[in-house]
A and B are shown apart, each in its own frame.
Chain A
Amino acid sequence: EPEVTQTPSHQVTQMGQEVILRCVPISNHLYFYWYRQILGQKVEFLVSFYNNEISEKSEIFDDQFSVERPDGSNFTLKIRSTKLEDSAMYFCASSERGSGANVLTFGAGSRLTVL
C-alpha cells in the first residue's frame, strides 16, 4: 500500500538553528499538508500546498516557516531559527483532492527536539 515517507524520524537541534523536515508524498496525490502535534496535545494544521503554492496556512505558520517542493517527489518544511516551543511531532500528509470526500494519508512523523 502506498505510504507517505518522512525523514528524519527524530532530529535534535539547538535553539536558533535551521531545520528542514522532508516528506515524500504518495505519487499520484496533488495536495500536501504539514501538521504538528506537541506531545499529547491536539493535531494542529500548519499549511496546505497545491500546484507549487500555499493554499492555506494557519496563524502558527509565520515567517519562521516555509514549504517547498524542490523536485517532483519531495515536500519540505523549513523552520528557520528554531525556538524551544517548536519542539513537537511534525506530520506530513497528502491527498488526491483538496476538499470533498477526501482522505488524508499521513506519514509516521518527524520528532523535533529543540534544546
Chain B
Amino acid sequence: SQQGEEDPQALSIQEGENATMNCSYKTSINNLQWYRQNSGRGLVHLILIRSNEREKHSGRLRVTLDTSKKSSSLLITASRAADTASYFCATDKGTYKYIFGTGTRLKVLA
C-alpha cells in the first residue's frame, strides 16, 4: 500500500506568508519525519514527530500529527525565498524501511 501522500502537490506563496503542507498515510507508524529537497539535491531532515506526540516545533517549523486520522501537517511560518524546495513526509513502521510521500513543491515568491 502506498504510504505518504502530501497535498497540495504544489504551493506558491508570497514571502512572509505561512505555508502549510499536509501528509496522509495508510498504516500505523512509529514516527513521522519531514524532509526538504532543494532542486536536484539530496533530502535533508527537518523534524521528527513520534507517534505519541501531537505537535512539535523547531524554529519556524511546526508539525502536527493526528494518528486517528493518519495525517500530519507541516507549517512554515514567515516564509522566505530560501524556503523554496520540495517537502516530503516519511513514515517509519519500525522495519528498516522509511517510506516517502509524493512531496509538495513549495515556491516562495520574493
Contact = CB atoms under 8 A, between A and B. Distances in A.
A25 interface: no
B48 A103 contact: yes
User: Contact residue range for chain B?
Assistant: 20 to 34
B98 A104 contact: yes
Given A105-B45, A107-B42, A109-B41, A100 B96 contact: no
A42 B43 CA distance: 12
B96 A55 contact: yes
Contacts of A75: none
Contact of B30 (A33, A91, A100, A109): A100
A43 to B, nearest CB: 4
B102 A50 contact: no
Contacts of B33: 103
Contacts of A93: 43
A100 B31 contact: yes
Contacts of B96: 31, 48, 50, 55-56, 98-99
Interface string A90-115: 01010000111111111111000000
Interface string B76-109: 0000000000001010111111111111000000
B26 interface: no
Contacts of B102: 41-42
A109 B45 CA distance: 15
A45 B100 contact: yes
A108 B98 contact: no
Contacts of A48: 96-97
A105 B41 CA distance: 12
